[in-house]
Amino acid sequence: MSAAAPLPLKVQLGARTLVTLRPRLVRVPLALDDVREGRVPRMPRLDPSGAGYLVTSLPEALLQDTVRATSGMIAFVRQRYTRYHADLTRGFDAYHATLSANTRQGLKRKAKKLGMLDVRRYREPHEMEAFHRIARGIALTTYQERLMGAGLPDDAAFVARMLADAASGHARGWLLFIDGAPAAYLYCPVRAGVAIYEFVGHDPHFSALSPGAVLQLEAMRDLAEDPGVTAFDFTEGEGQHKRAMATGGTACVDVLLLRRTLANRAMVAGLRGFDGAVALAKRAVARAGLQDLAKRIRRG
């Protein structure tokens, strides 16, 4: 039996969180190997206090089988996306050759704008301490931190886990400096040979120079030559940079599987109504040709 815990379900408009619900759920995440091999997840037994499950990165092709396996629970798909990954088993040159010509040329232009690249690599515990201090400073400037509180964490539990991973050889960090100033960071734990795209950010002061894209390519260069790494997992969610840097992907969903209670029915009805209203508004904006104005409003 798995204990359910309050998990945040964010009701968002763009990057802005309007409401956060906290039903008691058991999160069932699928690792990259599970996704690529199409394994139906094993659902742990739910304790009496639990509202249900949140299954993340479930291959869409397995949705109906998973719903049937949970004996009539309410199923509500929260989002659809492609779970992107990069195969790094053949080295950097082979990986780089899989990228589109436009992507390769664009990255070359961006790197050239920066001149001599100053990328620093971190993996030992004492190195990761320095990495965390500098990267946390960058994180405080990012929109992820300001709008979602999703920059590189600074709580004691995260730092302890990061240092433990470094001690066992399972942590990688990179920083990009521009004219001596820290501009971008990327942090990846490594699990079963897969580097996980966990925390990333850049100082908006340098946005015009695309420091995140340049740093990502340099990280892929390192990882493709790292004997302890076979793949890069871009994790949940879409993104143009993920599509550009990946070698493959799987259509996935995040799905709520909930007990058939009145409270759960009401929550799903509310989420479905909000999602429907947002979709209707997006279609209206598209028909009116106001997409650029809507983007500026969301960013403001």
> Above 50 in pLDDT, residue 103?
yes
Show the domains of the chain with their CATH numbers.
5-81+251-299 (no CATH), 89-229 (3.40.630.30)
Q: Give the pLDDT of residue 277.
A: 86
Cβ atoms 256, 73 nearer than 8 A: no
Tokens of 245: 């840097």
Q: What is the pTM of this model?
A: 0.87
- What is residue 115's three-state secondary structure? coil
Cβ atoms 152, 187 nearer than 8 A: yes
Range of lowest pLDDT (18-22, 34-38, 286-290): 286-290
Q: What is the DSSP string of 38-54?
A: TPPPPPPPBPTT--EEE
- The mean pLDDT of 21-36, rounded to a whole number, is 94
pLDDT digits (tens, 9 = 90+) for 247-267: 999 999 999 999 999 999 999
How, if at all, do strands 171-178 and 194-196 pair?
unpaired
pLDDT digits (tens, 9 = 90+) for 216-237: 999 999 999 999 999 999 999 8
How, if at all, do strands 181-191 and 199-202 pair?
antiparallel
Q: How far is CA 274 from CA 15, 167, 246, in A?
A: 15, 45, 32
The residue with tokens 């359910």 is 4
- The mean pLDDT of 239-243, rounded to a whole number, is 94
Range of lowest pLDDT (10-19, 91-100, 204-213): 10-19
pLDDT digits (tens, 9 = 90+) for 106-150: 999 999 999 999 999 999 999 999 999 999 999 999 877 766 667
The DSSP code for 176 is: E
Q: Give the pLDDT of residue 148.
A: 62
Q: Give the pLDDT of residue 20.
A: 87
pLDDT band at 78; cut points 50, 70, 90: very high
Contacts of 251 (CB under 8 A, 6+ apart): 59, 60, 61, 80, 82
Q: Give the pLDDT of residue 300.
A: 43
The residue with tokens 């960090």 is 173
- The mean pLDDT of 149-158, rounded to a whole number, is 88
Burial of 174 (0-12, 13-18, 19+ CB in 10 A): buried
